[in-house]
Amino acid sequence: MTDQTEVPSAPTARMLTWVRNSTIYRLERRMMTERQLFDAIARKAKQKFEDITAEQIEALANAAVKFAYDIKALDDVAYAEIATRSAIRGGKSRRAIAQKLSIKGVSKDITAQALSEADDLYAAVIMARKRRFGPFRRDEADQKRMQKEISAFARNGYSFEIANRVYRMSLDDAEEILAQGSP
């Protein structure tokens, strides 16, 4: 007689109850993408349950995602649109927003759809206002200051053309762009 215990591959009822409760808890606190929820549940399941198998972890994470879709609490399209609008209001470039959404696990198609109406010029003017660059600067700019400002735009994902345009813009033009708002 051998002393082999069979390792279950399906999650137990207790695990599935924990997944539902944990999913609700996480999604009540903040909006998440499908991948973020999957990763969070998988990570937490490893900590919570002793002797859990990789198959059970994956099944629990998939169950969490399915449950979140069933209760309509998970929507990558809405997440991408909300994150894009918020980032534009914060002065982030289309490139920076796309990178952030990619890191969060949003697909390229959904990202492209969310960024379709994003205006880099509008966002760059917001960034300039926040940092007192270009038309919002108090002092007269010298060559060193110009290089610093344009470098900051480049680090934030803006093209040289947009950075240069905002840098040389008058205060009236910048305020007009801000008044028009983002589409």
Cβ-based neighbour number of residue 85 at 10 Å: 15
Looking at residue 1, its pLDDT comes to 44
Cα(136)–Cα(152) distance, integer angstroms? 15
Structure token pair of residue 50: 């002793």
Cα(92)–Cα(84) distance, integer angstroms? 9
Contacts of 2 (CB under 8 A, 6+ apart): none
Angle of helix 160-167 relative to helix 120-131, nearest 10 degrees, comes to 50
Structure token pair of residue 153: 């735009």
Looking at residue 110, its pLDDT comes to 94
Phi, then psi, of 101 in degrees rounded to 5: -65, -35
102-138: string of b/e by CB count within 10 Å (b at 16+)? eebbbbeebbeebbeebebbbbbbbbbbeeebbbbee
Encode the chain (183 residues) as per-residue pLDDT tens digits.
Answer: 444 455 567 888 899 999 999 999 999 999 999 999 999 999 999 999 988 899 999 999 999 999 999 998 999 999 999 999 999 999 999 999 999 999 999 999 999 999 998 899 999 999 999 999 989 988 887 888 888 889 999 999 999 999 989 988 999 999 999 988 755
Looking at residue 156, its pLDDT comes to 92
Closest by Cα among 28, 24, 50, 31 to 41: 24
Looking at residue 85, its pLDDT comes to 93
Length of the chain: 183
Looking at residue 50, its pLDDT comes to 85
Cα(62)–Cα(105) distance, integer angstroms? 15
Secondary structure element (H or E) that encloses residue 70, with its range: helix 54-70
